[in-house]
Protein backbone atom coordinates (compact mmCIF):
# COMPACT_ATOMS: atom_id res chain seq x y z
CA UNK A 1 0.00 0.00 0.00
CA UNK A 2 1.44 3.34 -0.98
CA UNK A 3 -0.11 5.59 1.68
CA UNK A 4 0.85 5.41 5.35
CA UNK A 5 -1.71 6.48 7.92
CA UNK A 6 -0.74 8.06 11.21
CA UNK A 7 -2.20 7.48 14.65
CA UNK A 8 -5.29 9.53 15.55
CA UNK A 9 -4.57 13.03 16.81
CA UNK A 10 -6.25 12.32 20.14
CA UNK A 11 -3.16 10.56 21.43
CA UNK A 12 -0.30 8.19 20.62
CA UNK A 13 -1.80 4.73 20.22
CA UNK A 14 -0.41 1.22 20.03
CA UNK A 15 -3.82 -0.49 19.88
CA UNK A 16 -5.45 -1.79 16.70
CA UNK A 17 -8.94 -2.98 15.85
CA UNK A 18 -9.03 -5.98 13.48
CA UNK A 19 -12.36 -6.63 11.75
CA UNK A 20 -13.92 -8.79 9.02
CA UNK A 21 -12.43 -11.96 10.54
CA UNK A 22 -13.64 -15.42 9.63
CA UNK A 23 -15.40 -16.98 12.63
CA UNK A 24 -12.90 -19.86 12.88
CA UNK A 25 -9.84 -17.60 13.24
CA UNK A 26 -8.42 -17.73 16.78
CA UNK A 27 -5.80 -15.86 18.80
CA UNK A 28 -2.90 -18.10 17.80
CA UNK A 29 -3.52 -17.64 14.08
CA UNK A 30 -3.65 -13.85 14.48
CA UNK A 31 -0.53 -13.87 16.62
CA UNK A 32 1.45 -15.62 13.88
CA UNK A 33 0.72 -12.71 11.54
CA UNK A 34 0.95 -9.68 13.84
CA UNK A 35 4.11 -10.71 15.68
CA UNK A 36 6.03 -10.58 12.39
CA UNK A 37 5.78 -6.78 12.61
CA UNK A 38 6.86 -6.36 16.22
CA UNK A 39 6.41 -7.68 19.79
CA UNK A 40 2.73 -8.00 20.68
CA UNK A 41 1.67 -6.99 24.21
CA UNK A 42 -1.78 -8.61 24.13
CA UNK A 43 -4.30 -9.98 21.66
CA UNK A 44 -7.97 -10.82 22.06
CA UNK A 45 -10.63 -12.24 19.71
CA UNK A 46 -14.02 -10.99 20.93
CA UNK A 47 -16.60 -13.73 21.42
CA UNK A 48 -20.26 -14.16 22.23
CA UNK A 49 -20.70 -14.36 26.01
CA UNK A 50 -22.91 -17.46 25.86
CA UNK A 51 -21.91 -19.46 22.77
CA UNK A 52 -18.22 -18.34 22.75
CA UNK A 53 -18.47 -18.02 18.96
CA UNK A 54 -16.18 -15.37 17.45
CA UNK A 55 -17.90 -12.05 16.74
CA UNK A 56 -15.61 -11.46 13.75
CA UNK A 57 -13.31 -8.85 15.26
CA UNK A 58 -10.33 -8.60 17.60
CA UNK A 59 -7.99 -6.16 19.34
CA UNK A 60 -4.20 -6.22 19.06
CA UNK A 61 -2.00 -4.18 21.40
CA UNK A 62 1.68 -3.58 20.64
CA UNK A 63 4.33 -2.45 23.09
CA UNK A 64 5.37 0.43 20.83
CA UNK A 65 3.23 2.75 18.66
CA UNK A 66 5.58 2.53 15.63
CA UNK A 67 4.96 -1.23 15.49
CA UNK A 68 1.19 -0.66 15.48
CA UNK A 69 1.56 1.93 12.72
CA UNK A 70 3.68 -0.45 10.65
CA UNK A 71 1.17 -3.28 11.15
CA UNK A 72 -1.64 -1.04 9.93
CA UNK A 73 0.38 -0.11 6.87
CA UNK A 74 1.58 -3.62 5.98
CA UNK A 75 -1.22 -5.94 7.11
CA UNK A 76 -4.39 -3.98 6.36
CA UNK A 77 -6.59 -5.99 3.95
CA UNK A 78 -4.29 -9.00 4.15
CA UNK A 79 -6.06 -12.21 3.12
CA UNK A 80 -6.80 -14.63 5.96
CA UNK A 81 -8.60 -17.83 4.95
CA UNK A 82 -9.75 -16.27 1.71
CA UNK A 83 -11.11 -13.02 3.20
CA UNK A 84 -9.30 -9.68 3.63
CA UNK A 85 -9.07 -8.45 7.20
CA UNK A 86 -9.73 -4.78 7.99
CA UNK A 87 -7.45 -2.94 10.44
CA UNK A 88 -8.00 0.47 12.00
CA UNK A 89 -6.87 2.38 15.06
CA UNK A 90 -8.72 1.28 18.18
CA UNK A 91 -11.00 4.11 19.32
CA UNK A 92 -12.13 3.87 22.92
CA UNK A 93 -14.41 6.90 22.63
CA UNK A 94 -17.71 5.66 21.09
CA UNK A 95 -18.66 9.20 20.06
CA UNK A 96 -15.71 9.22 17.64
CA UNK A 97 -16.70 5.88 16.15
CA UNK A 98 -20.30 6.97 15.66
CA UNK A 99 -19.39 10.41 14.35
CA UNK A 100 -21.05 10.74 10.94
CA UNK A 101 -19.77 14.14 9.79
CA UNK A 102 -16.57 12.67 8.30
CA UNK A 103 -18.17 9.41 7.16
CA UNK A 104 -18.84 9.05 3.42
CA UNK A 105 -21.16 6.80 1.44
CA UNK A 106 -19.89 5.65 -1.96
CA UNK A 107 -22.15 3.88 -4.47
CA UNK A 108 -22.28 2.72 -8.10
CA UNK A 109 -18.88 1.09 -7.71
CA UNK A 110 -17.60 -1.41 -10.23
CA UNK A 111 -17.80 -4.80 -8.50
CA UNK A 112 -14.19 -5.52 -9.44
CA UNK A 113 -12.99 -2.77 -7.07
CA UNK A 114 -11.71 -4.17 -3.79
CA UNK A 115 -11.05 -2.48 -0.45
CA UNK A 116 -7.34 -2.01 -1.17
CA UNK A 117 -7.86 -0.04 -4.40
CA UNK A 118 -10.70 1.96 -2.82
CA UNK A 119 -8.45 2.82 0.15
CA UNK A 120 -5.66 3.97 -2.18
CA UNK A 121 -8.12 6.15 -4.10
CA UNK A 122 -9.51 7.94 -1.05
CA UNK A 123 -6.33 8.06 1.09
CA UNK A 124 -5.02 10.85 -1.16
CA UNK A 125 -7.31 13.36 0.57
CA UNK A 126 -6.55 12.61 4.23
CA UNK A 127 -6.13 10.05 7.00
CA UNK A 128 -8.74 7.29 6.94
CA UNK A 129 -10.13 5.60 10.05
CA UNK A 130 -11.98 2.90 8.15
CA UNK A 131 -12.67 1.88 4.55
CA UNK A 132 -15.11 -0.95 3.88
CA UNK A 133 -16.84 -2.31 0.77
CA UNK A 134 -20.20 -3.94 1.47
CA UNK A 135 -20.24 -7.61 0.44
CA UNK A 136 -22.82 -10.39 0.23
CA UNK A 137 -22.62 -13.80 1.91
CA UNK A 138 -20.34 -15.01 -0.89
CA UNK A 139 -17.87 -12.16 -0.34
CA UNK A 140 -18.77 -10.36 -3.59
CA UNK A 141 -19.10 -6.58 -3.70
CA UNK A 142 -22.60 -5.08 -3.53
CA UNK A 143 -21.43 -1.98 -5.41
CA UNK A 144 -21.29 0.44 -2.47
CA UNK A 145 -18.88 1.26 0.35
CA UNK A 146 -18.19 3.44 3.39
CA UNK A 147 -15.13 5.62 3.97
CA UNK A 148 -14.59 7.24 7.38
CA UNK A 149 -12.03 10.07 7.51
CA UNK A 150 -10.28 11.47 10.55
CA UNK A 151 -11.37 15.05 9.77
CA UNK A 152 -14.41 16.62 8.15
CA UNK A 153 -12.13 18.71 5.91
CA UNK A 154 -10.70 15.54 4.34
CA UNK A 155 -14.21 14.18 3.75
CA UNK A 156 -15.33 17.42 2.06
CA UNK A 157 -12.26 17.37 -0.16
CA UNK A 158 -12.94 13.77 -1.21
CA UNK A 159 -16.56 14.63 -2.13
CA UNK A 160 -15.43 17.63 -4.16
CA UNK A 161 -12.83 15.66 -6.12
CA UNK A 162 -14.43 12.22 -6.54
CA UNK A 163 -18.21 12.68 -6.72
CA UNK A 164 -19.37 12.01 -10.27
CA UNK A 165 -15.95 10.81 -11.44
CA UNK A 166 -15.45 7.73 -13.62
CA UNK A 167 -13.76 4.90 -11.70
CA UNK A 168 -13.21 1.61 -13.53
CA UNK A 169 -15.71 2.63 -16.21
CA UNK A 170 -18.56 3.63 -13.83
CA UNK A 171 -19.59 7.07 -12.58
CA UNK A 172 -19.50 6.87 -8.79
CA UNK A 173 -21.49 8.83 -6.23
CA UNK A 174 -19.70 10.14 -3.14
CA UNK A 175 -21.67 11.91 -0.42
CA UNK A 176 -22.03 12.23 3.32
CA UNK A 177 -23.38 9.18 5.08
CA UNK A 178 -26.78 9.79 6.71
CA UNK A 179 -27.57 7.60 9.76
CA UNK A 180 -30.81 5.63 9.57
CA UNK A 181 -32.41 7.57 12.43
CA UNK A 182 -31.95 10.79 10.48
CA UNK A 183 -32.68 9.20 7.13
CA UNK A 184 -36.23 8.36 8.19
CA UNK A 185 -37.05 12.08 8.39
CA UNK A 186 -36.39 12.40 4.69
CA UNK A 187 -39.00 9.74 3.89
CA UNK A 188 -41.65 12.46 4.10
CA UNK A 189 -40.25 13.94 0.89
CA UNK A 190 -40.77 10.87 -1.32
CA UNK A 191 -42.10 11.41 -4.88
CA UNK A 192 -41.98 7.90 -6.36
CA UNK A 193 -45.04 5.62 -6.10
CA UNK A 194 -45.56 1.93 -6.83
CA UNK A 195 -48.69 0.64 -8.59
CA UNK A 196 -49.73 -3.04 -8.82
CA UNK A 197 -52.70 -5.34 -9.54
CA UNK A 198 -53.25 -3.65 -12.91
CA UNK A 199 -55.07 -5.47 -15.71
CA UNK A 200 -52.68 -7.10 -18.16
CA UNK A 201 -54.32 -5.29 -21.11
CA UNK A 202 -53.25 -1.82 -19.94
CA UNK A 203 -50.61 -0.03 -22.02
CA UNK A 204 -48.01 2.63 -21.21
CA UNK A 205 -50.13 5.55 -22.42
CA UNK A 206 -53.23 4.58 -20.44
CA UNK A 207 -51.09 3.88 -17.36
CA UNK A 208 -49.67 7.39 -17.45
CA UNK A 209 -53.09 8.95 -18.10
CA UNK A 210 -54.38 7.48 -14.83
CA UNK A 211 -52.02 9.68 -12.77
CA UNK A 212 -51.81 12.89 -14.83
CA UNK A 213 -54.60 14.63 -12.86
CA UNK A 214 -52.46 14.67 -9.70
CA UNK A 215 -49.56 16.78 -10.99
CA UNK A 216 -46.41 16.88 -13.08
CA UNK A 217 -45.03 13.41 -13.83
CA UNK A 218 -41.27 13.24 -14.36
CA UNK A 219 -41.33 9.56 -15.31
CA UNK A 220 -43.79 6.67 -15.60
CA UNK A 221 -42.70 3.10 -16.27
CA UNK A 222 -45.01 0.14 -16.80
CA UNK A 223 -43.26 -3.22 -16.32
CA UNK A 224 -43.43 -5.30 -19.53
CA UNK A 225 -42.61 -8.93 -20.25
CA UNK A 226 -40.58 -10.26 -23.19
CA UNK A 227 -43.58 -10.02 -25.49
CA UNK A 228 -44.19 -6.38 -24.60
CA UNK A 229 -47.29 -7.08 -22.50
CA UNK A 230 -47.95 -5.58 -19.08
CA UNK A 231 -46.81 -7.49 -15.99
CA UNK A 232 -49.50 -5.76 -13.96
CA UNK A 233 -47.33 -3.26 -12.07
CA UNK A 234 -45.35 -0.08 -12.61
CA UNK A 235 -43.82 3.09 -11.12
CA UNK A 236 -44.75 6.76 -11.34
CA UNK A 237 -42.47 9.59 -10.20
CA UNK A 238 -43.92 13.05 -9.55
CA UNK A 239 -42.17 16.40 -9.43
CA UNK A 240 -43.37 17.13 -5.89
CA UNK A 241 -44.05 15.12 -2.76
CA UNK A 242 -47.56 16.55 -2.29
CA UNK A 243 -48.56 15.32 -5.75
CA UNK A 244 -47.35 11.78 -5.06
CA UNK A 245 -49.05 11.74 -1.65
CA UNK A 246 -52.39 12.85 -3.18
CA UNK A 247 -52.13 10.15 -5.87
CA UNK A 248 -51.67 7.47 -3.20
CA UNK A 249 -54.58 8.73 -1.11
CA UNK A 250 -57.05 8.91 -4.02
CA UNK A 251 -55.95 6.01 -6.24
CA UNK A 252 -55.20 3.28 -3.70
CA UNK A 253 -57.93 0.57 -3.78
CA UNK A 254 -59.71 2.29 -6.69
CA UNK A 255 -61.30 -0.09 -9.19
CA UNK A 256 -59.74 0.16 -12.67
CA UNK A 257 -61.14 -2.05 -15.47
CA UNK A 258 -62.79 -4.33 -12.91
CA UNK A 259 -59.74 -4.70 -10.62
CA UNK A 260 -58.92 -2.93 -7.36
CA UNK A 261 -55.39 -1.56 -7.73
CA UNK A 262 -52.79 -0.93 -5.05
CA UNK A 263 -50.94 2.41 -4.94
CA UNK A 264 -48.30 3.19 -2.32
CA UNK A 265 -44.92 4.78 -1.75
CA UNK A 266 -42.18 3.00 -3.69
CA UNK A 267 -39.79 1.27 -1.29
CA UNK A 268 -36.28 -0.06 -1.70
CA UNK A 269 -35.61 -3.76 -1.24
CA UNK A 270 -34.03 -3.07 2.15
CA UNK A 271 -37.10 -1.13 3.30
CA UNK A 272 -39.46 -3.89 2.15
CA UNK A 273 -37.43 -6.58 3.91
CA UNK A 274 -37.29 -4.48 7.08
CA UNK A 275 -41.04 -3.91 7.05
CA UNK A 276 -41.76 -7.57 6.35
CA UNK A 277 -39.43 -8.65 9.13
CA UNK A 278 -41.11 -6.26 11.56
CA UNK A 279 -44.53 -7.64 10.60
CA UNK A 280 -43.45 -11.25 11.14
CA UNK A 281 -41.79 -10.36 14.44
CA UNK A 282 -44.99 -8.67 15.61
CA UNK A 283 -47.05 -11.74 14.70
CA UNK A 284 -44.55 -14.01 16.46
CA UNK A 285 -44.70 -11.96 19.66
CA UNK A 286 -48.49 -11.90 19.56
CA UNK A 287 -48.58 -15.66 19.10
CA UNK A 288 -46.12 -16.18 21.96
CA UNK A 289 -48.11 -13.91 24.28
CA UNK A 290 -51.34 -15.64 23.30
CA UNK A 291 -50.06 -19.13 24.19
CA UNK A 292 -47.72 -18.16 27.02
CA UNK A 293 -48.29 -20.50 29.96
CA UNK A 294 -51.28 -22.32 28.43
CA UNK A 295 -49.72 -24.53 25.73
CA UNK A 296 -48.42 -27.89 26.97
CA UNK A 297 -45.92 -30.24 25.37
CA UNK A 298 -46.65 -33.96 25.89
CA UNK A 299 -44.19 -36.67 24.89
CA UNK A 300 -43.64 -40.43 25.20
CA UNK A 301 -47.14 -40.99 23.85
CA UNK A 302 -48.17 -44.42 22.64
CA UNK A 303 -48.47 -44.60 18.84
CA UNK A 304 -52.11 -45.63 19.16
CA UNK A 305 -53.15 -42.31 20.74
CA UNK A 306 -54.82 -39.82 18.37
CA UNK A 307 -56.07 -36.24 18.77
CA UNK A 308 -59.42 -37.21 20.27
CA UNK A 309 -57.87 -39.57 22.84
CA UNK A 310 -55.31 -36.93 23.80
CA UNK A 311 -58.06 -34.37 24.33
CA UNK A 312 -60.06 -36.86 26.40
CA UNK A 313 -57.12 -37.51 28.74
CA UNK A 314 -56.74 -33.79 29.55
CA UNK A 315 -60.28 -32.44 29.33
CA UNK A 316 -60.95 -32.87 33.07
CA UNK A 317 -58.53 -30.02 33.87
CA UNK A 318 -60.32 -27.25 31.99
CA UNK A 319 -61.32 -25.86 28.61
CA UNK A 320 -59.09 -27.17 25.81
CA UNK A 321 -58.76 -24.89 22.78
CA UNK A 322 -56.70 -27.41 20.76
CA UNK A 323 -55.19 -30.88 21.08
CA UNK A 324 -52.84 -32.25 18.45
CA UNK A 325 -50.72 -35.40 18.13
CA UNK A 326 -47.82 -34.78 15.74
CA UNK A 327 -47.56 -37.27 12.89
CA UNK A 328 -45.04 -38.13 10.22
CA UNK A 329 -45.99 -36.48 6.91
CA UNK A 330 -45.16 -39.54 4.80
CA UNK A 331 -46.28 -42.48 6.92
CA UNK A 332 -48.95 -40.62 8.95
CA UNK A 333 -47.72 -42.48 12.06
CA UNK A 334 -47.55 -40.73 15.42
CA UNK A 335 -44.20 -39.19 16.34
CA UNK A 336 -44.85 -39.91 20.01
CA UNK A 337 -45.47 -36.34 21.11
CA UNK A 338 -48.15 -33.67 20.87
CA UNK A 339 -49.56 -30.42 22.22
CA UNK A 340 -52.57 -29.50 24.35
CA UNK A 341 -53.59 -25.86 24.70
CA UNK A 342 -55.80 -24.68 27.59
CA UNK A 343 -57.73 -21.44 27.94
CA UNK A 344 -56.03 -20.31 31.19
CA UNK A 345 -52.56 -20.76 32.77
CA UNK A 346 -54.18 -22.16 35.94
CA UNK A 347 -55.72 -25.05 34.00
CA UNK A 348 -52.39 -25.77 32.30
CA UNK A 349 -50.49 -25.74 35.60
CA UNK A 350 -52.98 -28.18 37.14
CA UNK A 351 -52.61 -30.51 34.14
CA UNK A 352 -48.81 -30.48 34.43
CA UNK A 353 -48.97 -31.27 38.15
CA UNK A 354 -51.36 -34.18 37.88
CA UNK A 355 -50.52 -35.68 34.47
CA UNK A 356 -46.71 -35.63 34.43
CA UNK A 357 -45.52 -39.22 34.75
CA UNK A 358 -49.02 -40.71 34.45
CA UNK A 359 -49.22 -44.12 32.76
CA UNK A 360 -51.25 -44.02 29.53
CA UNK A 361 -51.37 -47.32 27.63
CA UNK A 362 -48.50 -48.63 29.78
CA UNK A 363 -46.22 -45.66 29.00
CA UNK A 364 -45.35 -42.82 31.43
CA UNK A 365 -45.92 -39.51 29.69
CA UNK A 366 -43.96 -36.30 30.15
CA UNK A 367 -45.95 -33.04 30.44
CA UNK A 368 -44.45 -29.55 30.49
CA UNK A 369 -44.89 -26.07 29.08
CA UNK A 370 -44.24 -25.91 25.34
CA UNK A 371 -41.04 -24.05 24.44
CA UNK A 372 -39.36 -23.14 21.19
CA UNK A 373 -36.21 -25.09 20.35
CA UNK A 374 -33.97 -22.06 20.89
CA UNK A 375 -35.52 -21.52 24.35
CA UNK A 376 -34.87 -25.14 25.34
CA UNK A 377 -31.32 -24.96 24.05
CA UNK A 378 -30.66 -21.69 25.86
CA UNK A 379 -32.05 -23.10 29.12
CA UNK A 380 -29.87 -26.21 28.94
CA UNK A 381 -26.86 -24.11 27.99
CA UNK A 382 -27.36 -21.62 30.81
CA UNK A 383 -27.71 -24.43 33.35
CA UNK A 384 -24.53 -26.05 32.10
CA UNK A 385 -22.61 -22.76 32.10
CA UNK A 386 -23.87 -21.92 35.61
CA UNK A 387 -22.70 -25.23 37.05
CA UNK A 388 -19.56 -25.58 34.90
CA UNK A 389 -18.56 -21.98 34.06
CA UNK A 390 -15.38 -23.00 32.23
CA UNK A 391 -16.87 -25.86 30.26
CA UNK A 392 -16.24 -25.65 26.51
CA UNK A 393 -15.30 -21.96 26.71
CA UNK A 394 -12.52 -19.99 25.12
CA UNK A 395 -10.68 -17.48 27.33
CA UNK A 396 -12.61 -14.32 28.13
CA UNK A 397 -9.50 -12.27 28.77
CA UNK A 398 -6.83 -11.46 26.19
CA UNK A 399 -3.76 -13.55 25.53
CA UNK A 400 -0.86 -11.87 27.31
CA UNK A 401 2.71 -11.97 26.04
CA UNK A 402 5.66 -11.62 28.37
CA UNK A 403 9.37 -12.35 28.32
CA UNK A 404 8.71 -16.09 28.16
CA UNK A 405 6.31 -15.83 25.23
CA UNK A 406 2.53 -16.16 25.05
CA UNK A 407 0.76 -16.95 28.30
CA UNK A 408 -2.66 -18.23 27.30
CA UNK A 409 -5.35 -18.68 29.92
CA UNK A 410 -7.22 -21.13 27.70
CA UNK A 411 -6.12 -24.15 29.71
CA UNK A 412 -5.87 -23.37 33.45
CA UNK A 413 -4.04 -25.71 35.85
CA UNK A 414 -5.92 -28.88 36.76
CA UNK A 415 -6.56 -27.80 40.35
CA UNK A 416 -8.27 -24.63 39.04
CA UNK A 417 -10.55 -26.40 36.57
CA UNK A 418 -14.29 -26.14 37.38
CA UNK A 419 -15.40 -29.31 39.12
CA UNK A 420 -19.14 -28.85 39.38
CA UNK A 421 -21.04 -30.20 42.39
CA UNK A 422 -19.02 -32.89 44.19
CA UNK A 423 -20.39 -36.23 45.23
CA UNK A 424 -19.66 -37.64 48.72
CA UNK A 425 -16.65 -39.47 47.32
CA UNK A 426 -15.10 -36.30 45.94
CA UNK A 427 -15.95 -36.86 42.29
CA UNK A 428 -17.80 -34.39 40.12
CA UNK A 429 -21.11 -35.28 38.50
CA UNK A 430 -19.44 -34.57 35.17
CA UNK A 431 -17.09 -37.53 35.74
CA UNK A 432 -19.25 -40.43 36.92
CA UNK A 433 -18.01 -43.58 38.51
CA UNK A 434 -17.85 -46.93 36.82
CA UNK A 435 -21.18 -48.62 36.15
CA UNK A 436 -22.76 -50.67 38.88
CA UNK A 437 -21.22 -54.10 39.05
CA UNK A 438 -17.93 -53.10 37.40
CA UNK A 439 -14.77 -54.04 39.35
CA UNK A 440 -13.15 -51.34 41.45
CA UNK A 441 -9.52 -51.85 42.25
CA UNK A 442 -8.05 -50.36 45.39
CA UNK A 443 -4.43 -49.23 45.67
CA UNK A 444 -2.25 -48.15 48.53
CA UNK A 445 -1.16 -44.52 48.92
CA UNK A 446 1.05 -44.48 51.96
CA UNK A 447 -1.06 -45.70 54.85
CA UNK A 448 -4.31 -44.63 53.19
CA UNK A 449 -6.59 -46.78 51.09
CA UNK A 450 -7.74 -44.88 47.96
CA UNK A 451 -10.31 -46.17 45.49
CA UNK A 452 -9.06 -46.29 41.90
CA UNK A 453 -11.59 -45.65 39.08
CA UNK A 454 -10.98 -45.81 35.34
CA UNK A 455 -10.03 -42.40 33.93
CA UNK A 456 -9.88 -40.77 37.41
CA UNK A 457 -6.69 -40.03 39.32
CA UNK A 458 -6.64 -38.84 42.90
CA UNK A 459 -4.14 -36.40 44.29
CA UNK A 460 -3.70 -36.26 48.05
CA UNK A 461 -2.88 -32.52 47.79
CA UNK A 462 -6.19 -31.61 46.13
CA UNK A 463 -8.85 -30.39 48.51
CA UNK A 464 -12.20 -32.14 48.98
CA UNK A 465 -10.94 -35.53 47.80
CA UNK A 466 -12.79 -37.67 50.30
CA UNK A 467 -12.86 -41.42 50.44
CA UNK A 468 -16.00 -43.17 49.24
CA UNK A 469 -18.34 -43.90 52.10
CA UNK A 470 -18.98 -47.49 53.05
CA UNK A 471 -22.34 -48.87 52.05
CA UNK A 472 -24.67 -48.96 55.02
CA UNK A 473 -26.36 -52.17 56.05
CA UNK A 474 -29.85 -52.79 54.73
CA UNK A 475 -31.46 -51.70 57.98
CA UNK A 476 -29.17 -48.70 58.42
CA UNK A 477 -30.00 -45.01 57.92
CA UNK A 478 -31.80 -43.92 54.75
CA UNK A 479 -29.48 -42.76 51.95
CA UNK A 480 -28.70 -39.04 51.82
CA UNK A 481 -29.61 -36.81 48.88
CA UNK A 482 -26.04 -36.94 47.60
CA UNK A 483 -25.99 -40.74 47.84
CA UNK A 484 -29.24 -40.87 45.88
CA UNK A 485 -27.66 -38.69 43.21
CA UNK A 486 -24.65 -40.99 43.06
CA UNK A 487 -26.97 -43.94 42.58
CA UNK A 488 -28.66 -42.11 39.71
CA UNK A 489 -25.29 -41.32 38.16
CA UNK A 490 -24.29 -44.96 38.27
CA UNK A 491 -27.63 -45.93 36.73
CA UNK A 492 -27.63 -43.27 33.99
CA UNK A 493 -24.01 -43.64 32.90
CA UNK A 494 -24.24 -47.18 31.41
CA UNK A 495 -27.51 -46.28 29.64
CA UNK A 496 -25.93 -43.17 28.09
CA UNK A 497 -22.80 -45.09 27.15
CA UNK A 498 -24.93 -47.78 25.48
CA UNK A 499 -26.89 -45.17 23.48
CA UNK A 500 -23.70 -43.44 22.32
CA UNK A 501 -22.23 -46.79 21.25
CA UNK A 502 -25.30 -47.49 19.11
CA UNK A 503 -25.01 -44.04 17.54
CA UNK A 504 -21.23 -44.36 17.06
CA UNK A 505 -20.89 -40.97 18.75
CA UNK A 506 -18.10 -41.58 21.25
CA UNK A 507 -17.01 -43.51 24.30
CA UNK A 508 -16.66 -43.20 28.04
CA UNK A 509 -15.39 -39.59 28.11
CA UNK A 510 -18.35 -38.25 26.16
CA UNK A 511 -20.76 -40.39 28.19
CA UNK A 512 -19.31 -38.87 31.36
CA UNK A 513 -19.80 -35.32 30.10
CA UNK A 514 -23.39 -35.95 29.05
CA UNK A 515 -24.15 -37.70 32.34
CA UNK A 516 -22.95 -34.65 34.25
CA UNK A 517 -24.97 -32.28 32.06
CA UNK A 518 -28.19 -34.26 32.48
CA UNK A 519 -27.66 -34.68 36.24
CA UNK A 520 -27.38 -30.93 36.73
CA UNK A 521 -30.18 -29.97 34.33
CA UNK A 522 -33.00 -32.13 35.73
CA UNK A 523 -34.62 -32.88 39.06
CA UNK A 524 -34.16 -36.27 40.79
CA UNK A 525 -37.74 -37.33 39.99
CA UNK A 526 -37.18 -36.65 36.30
CA UNK A 527 -33.86 -38.50 36.41
CA UNK A 528 -35.58 -41.56 37.88
CA UNK A 529 -38.04 -41.48 34.97
CA UNK A 530 -35.12 -41.34 32.54
CA UNK A 531 -33.59 -44.43 34.15
CA UNK A 532 -36.90 -46.30 34.02
CA UNK A 533 -37.83 -45.27 30.45
CA UNK A 534 -35.27 -45.09 27.66
CA UNK A 535 -37.74 -43.20 25.43
CA UNK A 536 -37.50 -40.28 27.85
CA UNK A 537 -33.71 -40.44 28.17
CA UNK A 538 -32.75 -40.64 24.48
CA UNK A 539 -34.09 -37.13 23.55
CA UNK A 540 -32.09 -35.64 26.44
CA UNK A 541 -28.94 -37.36 25.15
CA UNK A 542 -29.62 -35.94 21.69
CA UNK A 543 -30.05 -32.41 23.10
CA UNK A 544 -26.76 -32.69 25.00
CA UNK A 545 -24.97 -33.94 21.86
CA UNK A 546 -26.29 -31.01 19.83
CA UNK A 547 -25.17 -28.59 22.53
CA UNK A 548 -21.67 -30.06 22.63
CA UNK A 549 -21.43 -29.98 18.82
CA UNK A 550 -22.55 -26.34 18.83
CA UNK A 551 -19.82 -25.43 21.32
CA UNK A 552 -17.21 -27.36 19.31
CA UNK A 553 -18.19 -25.51 16.11
CA UNK A 554 -18.18 -22.15 17.91
CA UNK A 555 -14.65 -22.75 19.15
Summarised one tens digit per residue, pLDDT across range 312-336 is: 999 999 999 999 999 988 888 898 9
**What percentage of the chain reaches a pLDDT higher than 90?**
18
Q: What is the pLDDT of residue 308?
A: 92
Q: Give the domains, in start order, of the chain with CATH numbers.
A: 15-184 (3.30.70.330), 191-265 (3.30.70.330), 293-369 (3.30.70.330), 415-438+480-554 (no CATH)
For residue range 186-230, what is the model confidence (pLDDT) as tens digits?
Answer: 456 789 999 999 998 898 889 999 999 999 998 888 998 888 888
pLDDT band at residue 61 under the 50/70/90 scheme: very high
Q: What is the pLDDT of residue 23?
A: 87
Q: What is the pLDDT of residue 307?
A: 92
DSSP result, 341-378? EESSHHHHHHHHHHHTT-EETTEE-EEEE---HHHHHH
For residue range 251-272, what is the model confidence (pLDDT) as tens digits?
Answer: 999 998 889 999 999 888 778 8
What is the overall mean pLDDT for the chain?
Answer: 77
Burial state string for 170-202 with b = 16 or more CB within 10 A and e = fewer than 16: bebbbeebeeeeeeeeeeeebbebbbeebeeeb
Q: Which of 57-61, 442-446, 447-451 has the highest mean pLDDT?
A: 57-61
Q: What is the pLDDT of residue 547?
A: 80
- Which of 335-349, 427-441, 519-533 shows the lowest per-residue confidence on average (mean pLDDT)? 427-441
Mean pLDDT of 469-473: 43
Mean pLDDT of 222-247: 90
**pTM across the whole model:** 0.40
Q: What is the pLDDT of residue 301?
A: 92
Looking at per-residue confidence, does 74 or 281 come out higher? 74
pLDDT band at residue 401 under the 50/70/90 scheme: low
In 3D space, the residue among 73, 135, 125 whose CA is nearest the CA of residue 102 turns out to be 125
**E strand intervals along 266-319:** 295-299
Question: Does residue 451 register a pLDDT over 60?
Answer: no
Q: What is the pLDDT of residue 59?
A: 92
Instruction: Report the alpha-carbon distance of residue 499 to residue 495 in Å, rounded.
Output: 6
Residues 6+ away with beta carbon under 8 Å from 37: 62, 67, 70, 71, 74, 75
For residue range 90-118, what is the model confidence (pLDDT) as tens digits?
Answer: 876 666 555 566 889 998 888 888 888 88
Q: What is the pLDDT of residue 34?
A: 93
pLDDT band at residue 178 under the 50/70/90 scheme: confident
Identify the helix (H) or strand (E) that includes residue 237.
strand 230-238
Amino acid sequence: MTVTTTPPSFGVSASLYVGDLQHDIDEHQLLEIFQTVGPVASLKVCRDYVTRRSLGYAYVNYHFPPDAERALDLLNYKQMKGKPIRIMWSQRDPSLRKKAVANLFVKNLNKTIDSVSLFDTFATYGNIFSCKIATDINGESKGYAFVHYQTEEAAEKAIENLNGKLVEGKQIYVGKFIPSNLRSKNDEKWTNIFVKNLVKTIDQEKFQELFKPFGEITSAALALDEEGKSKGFGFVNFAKHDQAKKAVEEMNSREIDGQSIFVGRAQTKVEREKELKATFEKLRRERMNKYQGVNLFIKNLDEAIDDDQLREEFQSFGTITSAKVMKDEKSNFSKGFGFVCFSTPEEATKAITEMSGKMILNKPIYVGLAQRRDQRRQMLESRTMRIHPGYGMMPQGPMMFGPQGPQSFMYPPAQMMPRGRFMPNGRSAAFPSTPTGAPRNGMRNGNKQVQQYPGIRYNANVRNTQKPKKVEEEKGPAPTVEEQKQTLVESLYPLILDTLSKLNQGGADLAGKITGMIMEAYDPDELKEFVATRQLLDPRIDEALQLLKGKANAN
